[in-house]
Amino acid sequence: MRLSVSFSFILFGFPAARSLLSTAYNATLLNRAALLDSGCGTSGALSCSTSASGQDLCCFESPGGLLVQPQFWDFNPSTGPSNSWTIHGLWPDHCDSTFDENCDPSRAYTGIASLLTNNGASDTLSFMQTHWVDINGDNEGFWEHEWSTHGTCMSTLELDCFSGITKGQEAVAYFESVVALYKTLPTYDWLANQGITPSSTATYSLSKVIAALKTESGGFTPALDCDGGSLNQIYWYFNLKGSVVDGEFVPISAPSAGTCGSTVKYPPKSGSSTPTSTTTSSSPTGMSGGTLPAKATIVALQLGSQVGGLLSLGTWSTQTLATFTTTGNANSFTMTSSKGNCGVSSGVFACGSGVSLSTFSTVSE
Q: Residue 345: enclosing H or E segment and its boundaries?
A: strand 340-345
- Residue 325: pLDDT band (50, 70, 90) is confident
Across the chain, mean pLDDT equals 82
Dist CA 46 CA 14 (whole Å): 40
Q: What is the 3-state secondary structure (H, E, C) of 324-337?
A: EEEEEECCEEEEEE
88 is catalytic: yes
pLDDT tops 90 at residue 313? no
* DSSP code at position 111: -
**pTM here?**
0.69
**Residue 1: how many other CB atoms lie within 10 Å:** 29
Specify whether 146 is catalytic.
Answer: yes
Q: Is 170 a catalytic residue?
A: no
Decide the pairing of beta strands 230-241 and 332-337: unpaired
Q: Which of 61, 101, 146, 216 does the annotation list as catalytic?
A: 146
Catalytic residue among 88, 131, 170, 216: 88
Judged by average pLDDT, the poorest of 92-96, 144-148, 194-198, 335-339 is 335-339
Q: Is 76 a residue whose pLDDT tops 50?
A: yes
Contacts of 85 (CB under 8 A, 6+ apart): 71, 72, 73, 187, 188, 234
- Helices 122-131/139-149 angle, 10° precision: 110
Domain spans of the chain, in order of start: 2-16+293-352, 19-265
Give the Cα separation of 226 and 209 in Å (integer): 13
271: number of Cβ within 10 Å: 11
Q: What is the CATH number of domain 19-265?
A: 3.90.730.10
Q: How far apart are CA 61 and CA 83, in angstroms?
A: 33
**Predicted pLDDT of residue 286:** 38
Three-state SS letters, 139-155: HHHHHHHHHHHCHHHCH
61, 144, 145, 150: the catalytic one is 150
**E strand intervals along 136-260:** 203-205, 223-227, 230-241, 248-251
Rounded distance between C-alpha atoms, residue 362 and residue 353, angstroms: 24
pLDDT by residue (tens digit) across 16-43? 222 222 233 333 456 565 578 899 999 9
